[in-house]
Amino acid sequence: MNNTHGLMPETSHDERSRLAFIVDLKGLLDIGASAANAELLAERVMPKVAGQDDKTLLQRARSEMARQVPYQHWMTLMRSAQEMMWHAVGNCVDRQYEDLEARAEGLAADRAVRTVPDFTVPPYLTAVDTHLMPGSYYTQRSDTDIRQGAVFDLAAAIYHRGRNGNELNDIRGHTIVSHLWERFPELEPENLLELGCTVGHSTVAVARYFADAELHAVDIGLPVLRYAQARARSLGVDIHFAQENAETLSYPDESFDVVYSSVMLHETSNSALPNIMAECHRVLRPGGVVIHLEVPVRYAEMPLADQLRADYETYYNNEPFWRGACTADLVGALRTAGFVDVAEGYQQAVTAASRDSHGFSSERGPVYRCWYIVSGRKP
């Protein structure tokens, strides 16, 4: 794997071979087995669950599918492949960790990640290791630890298989700016805030479009934030990173022109969602814009087989709010928070934003070819 910035962990020949095997295995399980699972659903499961209450159809179908031996094998292999990925990436990072931490300290020695006194990670994030990532985003071993950031960065490059912008994984950032320019072309932001930035994949991409603006980015995990700070510096971008809870931001009222998130909402919770929307409204200036980009998965628009595949993330990949975010009335949540001009749809994924973009529509495309977006304006 080629380095694309000053902190991406290097891989040896054997590590590349191992990671390539995991990539191929995950692809075979995720794509190659989809037709077989759909056939299993149609032939063995639907005759048992059809004709009953449609409101519980997904739940009953999932329970019955879980009794099918081929589906049990598929779920076991899916989870095992995810665990194999974290294990292989963790070993790769640990082999060179001292060098990675030294490079990070050298890159960001003059700016520490800002912290909030007595910060507490939300309980819904400490309940499980998100994505099955051992230690999740926030576990740290020292006051300079960046391990979780390095692990997440390398794993993301593997997981997305190059479809989200190769090792930079920045397509979502370009897509957010494309949406901003398409829906709100008159806005010239001077201050922007990203919620749930992890290692800054989208953050750096957005920052490069607004060189004269000040960009702040927050997350709950200090190791990923320290890594993000150094990673951004290695790419020549200056960003203000801080450890914050998006439900209770410390920024003053009316601090920003744009607040956005990139695939963050599905890692929150039912109770957190309205608080996050209210905070977006509070910290935006009048006329400011909120943009939330999410996975292009809306259960109401999907066949049952695709809903079952999406449910796997909730029940077996430690993403408890995946289904919640993909079924929530996000338009209503923004309106309740006080936003106007609210719209939802699918934004065409781009590798570079353009002010001439016309990629926002109600038509859902394939995953990685588009992203679901809900946005609005503060009156």
Q: Does residue 24 sit within a domain? A: no
Q: Is 189 left (phi over 0), alpha (psi -120 to 50) or beta?
A: beta
- The whole-angstrom separation of Cα 342 and Cα 184 is 12
Q: What is the pLDDT, as a whole number, of residue 1? A: 41
- The whole-angstrom separation of Cα 108 and Cα 95 is 22
Strand partners, 220: none
pLDDT along the chain (379 residues), means of 10: 77 96 93 91 94 84 96 97 97 98 93 92 95 97 97 94 90 98 97 98 98 97 98 96 98 98 96 98 98 96 94 94 96 98 98 94 92 98
Q: What is the pLDDT, as a whole number, of residue 162? A: 84
Q: Does residue 286 sit within a domain? A: yes
- For 110, 129, 188, 349, the CA distances from 291, given in Å and listed in that order, are 31, 27, 15, 15
How many domains are contained in the chain?
1
Q: Does residue 69 sit within a domain? A: no
Q: What is the pLDDT, as a whole number, of residue 2? A: 43
Q: What is the pLDDT, as a whole number, of residue 291? A: 99
Q: What is the pLDDT, as a whole number, of residue 3? A: 47
DSSP string, 112-171: PPB--TT----HHHHSS-GGG-TTTTT--SSTT--HHHHHHHHHHHHHTTTTTTGGG--H
- Read off the pTM: 0.96
**Percent of the chain that is helix, strand, coil (3-state, to 5):** 50, 15, 35
Q: Does residue 122 sit within a domain? A: no
Q: Is the dihedral of CA 200, 201, 206, 211 positive or negative?
A: positive
Q: Does residue 57 sit within a domain? A: no
Q: Does residue 221 sit within a domain? A: yes
Q: Is the dihedral of CA 321, 324, 330, 336 positive or negative?
A: negative
- The whole-angstrom separation of Cα 241 and Cα 226 is 8
Q: Does residue 255 sit within a domain? A: yes
**Of the candidates 116, 98, 91, 101, the residue with the CA atom closest to the CA atom of residue 229:** 101
Q: What are the contacts of 62-66 at 24+ separation with CB within 8 A?
A: 62/308, 62/311, 62/315, 65/37, 65/40, 65/41, 65/308
- For 4, 38, 62, 82, 196, the CA distances from 33, given in Å and listed in that order, are 32, 9, 16, 16, 32
The CATH number given to whatever domain includes residue 305 is 3.40.50.150
Q: What range defines the domain where residue 299 resides?
A: 166-377
At residue 102's C-alpha, the angle toward residues 97 and 108, to 5°, is 125
Q: Does residue 265 sit within a domain? A: yes
